Amino acid sequence: MKTTFANKENAKPRWFLVDAEGVVLGRLAVLLANIVRGKNRPDFTPHADAGDFVVVINARKVRLTGKKETQKTYTTYSRYVGGQKSMTVEKVRARHPELLVERAVKGMVPHTRLGRAQLRKIKVYADADHPHQAQQLEALKVA
């Protein structure tokens, strides 16, 4: 018997559409990370980029549990003196609601070149319209 490994050449990526309206952010991020990594496929290979593409719509309406809306903060640092900025989930949702989903998934993929390549397979949109109709998206239900 021969063991076959997935790679970019023999992987045929599929495109999924996920509606994030009313879905808890953590549960959504786990689902997206598994699809982008390819863990839902029978030929999963940890060191290969053989995952599928995901289009997420309605990121503005994703749900957080507890008091995270006002207490959770996102911090960035520019490496300059006084360059540290903090924003609550409330402010991030008002300015860039896509970042909520993107940063949640970013923490669940490998922190390597492979992980950065896998993150490029996620397309997040704040509202219901997106430019990916030509890809024949398969609707995916989040439990």
CATH class of this structure's domain 15-64+95-131: alpha beta
Of the candidate ranges 3-12, 95-104, 123-132, the one whose mean pLDDT is the lowest:
3-12
pLDDT at 6 over 90: no
Q: What is the pLDDT of residues 17-69, one digit of tens each?
A: 999 999 999 999 999 999 999 999 888 889 999 899 999 999 999 999 999 99
Q: How confident is the model at residue 115 (pLDDT cuts 50, 70, 90)?
A: very high
Identify which of 94, 86, 103 has the alpha carbon closest to the alpha carbon of residue 126: 94
Do 100 and 89 contact (CB within 8 A), yes or no?
yes
Q: Are 27 and 140 in contact (CB under 8 A)?
A: no
Tokens 């289009």 correspond to what residue?
A: 55
Residue with tokens 């996920």: 18
Please give the backbone phi and psi of residue 52, each rounded to the nearest 5 degrees, phi first. -105, 165
Count the Cβ atoms, other than its own, within 10 Å of residue 90.
13
| pLDDT at residue 42 in the model | 87
